Amino acid sequence: MNDADRVDRCVSVWDVTTGERISHFSWHSDWVDVVTFSPCGEFLLSSSRDNSLRVWDIANGTQTEIYNEFGSAWKQPFYSPKGTLFTAVFGGTGATQTIEIWNVERREKLQVLEFPVGSIGAEWFFKCPQLAIAYALSNKRSDGKTQTFPTLDEPNFPGPDPKVVWLDDQTLASKRLGRGIAAVGIALWDVESKRIQETLVEDKFIHSFTVLPCGDVLGTDLKRVSKVWNTSKPDAPIAEFTASTEPPNWARHEVFAPTGNQIAMGSREGTLYVWNFQHPEAPTLLTGHTGHIRALAFSPDGRQLASGSDDETARLWDVKSGEEIATLPLDAPHTIMGIAFSPCGKIIAGGMDNEIRFWCAEQLTTLRTIRQPENNHRTYALAFSPCGKYLASGTWWQQGMEKMAIRLWEVATAENIHTFWGHTSDVQSLAFSPDGTLLASGGFDGTILLWDVKSFIDV
């Protein structure tokens, strides 16, 4: 498909009464994130990850203006009731978040608002950029200096990122949210007190992290030049790498190898890279998928990588050679949204819209499938128990649902041993404690829940 025809890079205007498409614009070269109409209804503005704001004449189907002054930062443009075009540009470093307010047509920066990460001001202005623009217009400084908000310097909210990983039987790790635009540091929670006891690399934006069997905690940021940090030595990254041929913000999914020496990343186009931290300048390229990479999992020894994609296939790869070992069998095409290896590496579990499937990682055959209940079937989060006898699965939200199901399965029999209910939105992460007695779940509702599973399984 031609890049110009990709739906995520196009803007279309439709007549909702007749269903007729009035205009179609396809000049963006990356995802379009925001569109907004002018008050007169004659123009449409679009903001894209190609770092441009573009104004379109709807009736004539032409581009009337392009603005490239704002770089790769997240932008939220708005028209005022009188038709003036403004944008809020979000940025910041370390423990500080900034919002720049611009008059786009005059290319004039009106004000810079600065907030401590995690403050109420940062949270609300990010969720409602119109408030930031309204504030800047009513409190414009004439000296052009940055305005700070010390009275809003509350402590960071302890809200967790959905991903949860156990450090030991009493300590759980999650990303510490800077509320608004990024996660700052990795929070270590004391399970007994249910409080954060320590925050690692709290001066760094962390996109993903893992806890290695040896207890080391690795974290990464994903930028044009990405870095991997060992939190015990935060002064210098242990690896830096880049995908020079990929556009900005290309990575859609990533996973660390349990061996601690590699990371795999997948793109929305289906490209897969594996970087070895000893030689990050020469990544291994895995080619075969043709759609958005949704799920990745390394085998326990780090030699194999399982992947799921929007191209409705699940594949197994040899990490060292980059060769595809097999396309895992499916009864019909399905998008694999979750994937996991058993602790022994002999079984692969895949989560789909309506079933969980177990494959033999050695014979590359289907062992068994578990059909999911019709009203609660989007099973994407998966985790094997340490003994490998049990699998926990978590569902995503669907219309009409009030609570999400976390189901506990016996792998050998596919029996649903127990179902837990608690999260009000997608269950995005599951992890058993090292001793197998507790199950942690991270939800899109911003909560971490702990479940006592001792009475349901043979520990």
Q: What is the predicted pLDDT for the residue at 423?
A: 87
Instruction: Give Cα separations from 166 to 201, 429, 430 (angstroms).
Output: 17, 12, 10
Instruction: With a cut of 80, say whether residue 143 has pLDDT above it.
Output: no
- Residue 206 near residue 218 (C-beta atoms within 8 A): no
Edge-to-edge strand list for the sheet holding 338-341? 338-341, 347-351, 355-360, 366-371
Q: Is the pLDDT of residue 153 over 50?
A: no
The fraction of the chain above a pLDDT of 90, given in percent, is 46
Mean pLDDT score of the chain: 85
| CA pair distance 237, 218, nearest whole angstrom | 10
Q: What is the pLDDT of residue 377?
A: 65
Rounded to an integer, the average pLDDT of 180-201 is 81
Residue-wise pLDDT for 72-128, tens only, equals 888 889 898 889 999 988 887 666 778 888 899 999 888 888 776 655 566 667 767
CA Rg value for the chain: 24
Q: Of 200-214, 293-307, 386-400, give the range with the top mean pLDDT.
A: 293-307
Strand order in the sheet with 74-79: 74-79, 85-93, 96-103, 108-116, 146-148
Q: What is the pLDDT of residue 373?
A: 80
Homologous superfamily of domain range 3-152: YVTN repeat-like/Quinoprotein amine dehydrogenase (2.130.10.10)
Average pLDDT over residues 41-67: 92
Tens-place pLDDT, residues 263-282: 999 988 898 999 999 998 88
Determine the pLDDT at residue 179.
45
Angle at Cα 83 formed by Cα 28 and Cα 78, nearest 5°?
A: 50
Over residues 300-305, mean pLDDT? 96
- Residue 393: which of 375, 410, 376, 405 has the closest Cα? 405
Amino acid at 25: F
What is the per-residue burial (b if ≥16 Cβ within 10 Å, else e) of 404-423? bbbbbbbbeeeeeeeebebb
Q: Residue 141: pLDDT band by 50, 70, 90 thresholds?
A: low
User: Strand, coil or helix: what is 44?
Assistant: strand
Residues with Cβ within 8 Å of 257's Cβ and at least 6 positions away in sequence, in order, are 263, 264, 298, 302, 319
Residue in this structure with the two tokens 């202005």, named with its chain if needed: 125
pLDDT in the model for residue 129? 74
In this prediction the pTM is 0.69
Place of tokens 């770089």: 71
Check residue 225 and give its pLDDT: 78
pLDDT value for 168: 95
Locate the domains of the chain by residue range. Answer: 3-152, 158-242
Percent of the chain with pLDDT over 70: 85
Confidence (pLDDT) at 394: 93
Q: Which helix (H) or strand (E) holds 217?
A: strand 217-221
